């Protein structure tokens, strides 16, 4: 009976549940679903140097969302630790072959140990992935005014043209990185 | 905000983090697979999420529904004339999404799953957000 908690969920189960986050937050408190706003709230809470972009009442604007984010960490603990899937991901063979050719060796978990360990932080590819990757996610999300949740889910759900342009940007950057830049980083 | 309010958002966030894990959306491998067009998985998830989102937002808007506190639900429109901002900022986000294999939600869900190294990209993302705040006036929007 508990198998379903350990097994991976197919796209047609996960997709609708993620989509329901939008109306649930709207109906509960008129809130727009968007995770990256929390990074701005965290900067506003510290605001070293009194930057104008971070001068707002972050508690009033962001308490609900920070609580939601704490929940996401808890959900990650339940879904990825307590009920962790013991099997490797059923990835497409072509992806595995491509990644092996690029030097990735570990396919056991959700992320490769080749890049996502404290030891990998001492390697050039690990450093680029973890620090530059994180930096671009934070910078790009705020520049674009939202991330995958804010634009690709919330914004598109509200048929916002701006979000469609942002999502096209996500794919321009993602395809460039995957096809042209990543092979150089890992070589 | 009352305690019960916090509890509501905590529970929705927990469900969200749990689904991110179970659907493997948090996986660097799945993001690689998506940008290589090798599997339908991620497109199916995002596509169905958007379909469900569009239908529910339409229902909410057409019926002028109110939230649990009785306030009218209004969704602020985004200014689509700022094309540069969405295209350049979006592309930078995309570069980071593919490089790290995680967007903001998955970064935190992975941390919760016990992957402590995610502290580093989270701190880097905060530095990125702060840097945007510093440079905002000098960037094309």
Name the residue among B50, B68, B123 with its Cβ closest to that of A157.
B50
Question: Model's pTM, two decimal places?
Answer: 0.97
Q: What is the rounded average pLDDT of the residues B42-52? A: 98
- In this prediction, residue A8 carries a pLDDT of 96
Quote the minimal CA–CA distance from A1 to chain B in Å.
16
Q: Which of A48, A67, A147 sits opposite B6 (nearest CB)?
A: A67
Q: What is the mean pLDDT of chain B?
A: 97
Q: Which chain A residues have a beta carbon less than 8 Å from that of B108? A: 35, 69, 72-73, 76
Check CB contact of B65 with chain A, cutoff 8 Å: yes
CB A53 within 8 A of CB B133: yes
- Kindly tell me if the per-residue pLDDT of B56 is higher than 90: yes
Nearest CA in chain B to A155: B78
Chain B residues close to A147, C-beta within 8 Å: 93, 103-105
Mean of pLDDT values over B96-110: 98
Closest-CA residue to B34 (of A153, A170, A163): A170
Instruction: Give the A window 146-185 contacts with B, CB below 8 Å.
Output: 147-149, 151-163, 165-179, 181-182, 185
CA-based nearest residue to B122, from A105, A36, A144, A46: A36
Report chain B residues whose CB lies below 8 A from the CB of A179.
35-36
Do A186 and A103 touch, CB atoms closer than 8 A? yes
The residue ranges of chain A whose pLDDT is under 70 are: 1
* DSSP symbols for chain B: --HHHHHHHHHHHHHHHHHHHHTTTT-HHHHHHHHTT--SHHHHHHHHHHHHHHHHHHHHHHTT-B-TTSPBP--PPP-TT-HHHHHHHHHHHHHHHHHHS--HHHHHHHHHTT-GGGHHHHHHHHHHHHHHHHHGGGS--
For residues B98 and A182, is the Cβ–Cβ distance under 8 A? yes
Rounded (10°) CA dihedral B13, B14, B19, B21: 110
For range B106-123, the mean pLDDT: 98
Residue % of chain B over a pLDDT of 90: 96
pLDDT category of residue B42 using cuts at 50, 70 and 90:
very high
- Per-residue confidence (pLDDT) for residue A1, from 0 to 100: 67
Q: Which pLDDT does position B1 carry in this prediction?
A: 79
Nearest to B118 by CA among A183, A45, A86, A115: A115
Tell me what the mean pLDDT of segment B57-64 comes to: 96
B62 to chain A nearest CA, in Å? 12
């Amino acid at each position: 009976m508990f198998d379903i908690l350990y097994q991976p969920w197919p796209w047609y189960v996960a997709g609708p549940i993620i989509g329901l986050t939008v109306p649930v937050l709207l109906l509960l408190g008129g809130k727009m679903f968007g995770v990256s706003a929390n990074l701005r709230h965290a900067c506003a809470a510290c605001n070293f140097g009194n930057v104008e972009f971070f001068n707002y009442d972050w508690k009033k604007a962001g308490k609900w969302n920070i609580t939601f984010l704490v929940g996401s960490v808890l959900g990650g603990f339940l879904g990825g630790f307590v009920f962790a899937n013991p099997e490797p991901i059923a990835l497409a063979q072509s992806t595995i072959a491509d990644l092996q050719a690029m030097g990735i060796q570990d396919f056991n978990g959700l992320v490769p140990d080749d890049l996502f360990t404290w030891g990998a932080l001492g390697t050039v590819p690990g450093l680029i992935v973890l620090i530059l990757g994180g930096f671009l996610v934070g910078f790009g999300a705020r520049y674009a005014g939202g991330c995958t949740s804010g634009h690709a889910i919330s914004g598109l759900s509200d048929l916002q043209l701006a979000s469609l342009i942002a999502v096209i940007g996500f794919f321009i950057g993602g395809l460039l990185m995957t096809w042209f830049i990543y092979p150089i980083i890992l070589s | 905000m009352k305690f019960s309010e916090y509890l509501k958002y905590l529970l929705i966030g927990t469900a969200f983090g749990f689904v991110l894990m179970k659907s493997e959306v948090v996986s660097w491998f799945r993001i690689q697979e998506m940008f290589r067009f090798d599997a339908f998985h991620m497109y199916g998830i995002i596509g169905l999420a958007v379909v469900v989102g569009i239908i529910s937002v339409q229902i909410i808007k057409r019926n002028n529904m109110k939230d649990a506190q009785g306030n009218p639900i209004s969704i602020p429109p985004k200014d689509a004339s700022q094309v540069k901002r969405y295209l350049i900022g979006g592309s930078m986000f995309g570069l980071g999404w593919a490089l790290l294999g995680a967007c903001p939600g998955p970064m935190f869900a992975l941390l919760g799953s016990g992957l402590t190294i995610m502290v580093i990209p989270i701190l880097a993302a905060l530095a990125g957000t702060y840097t945007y705040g510093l440079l905002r006036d000098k960037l094309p929007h």
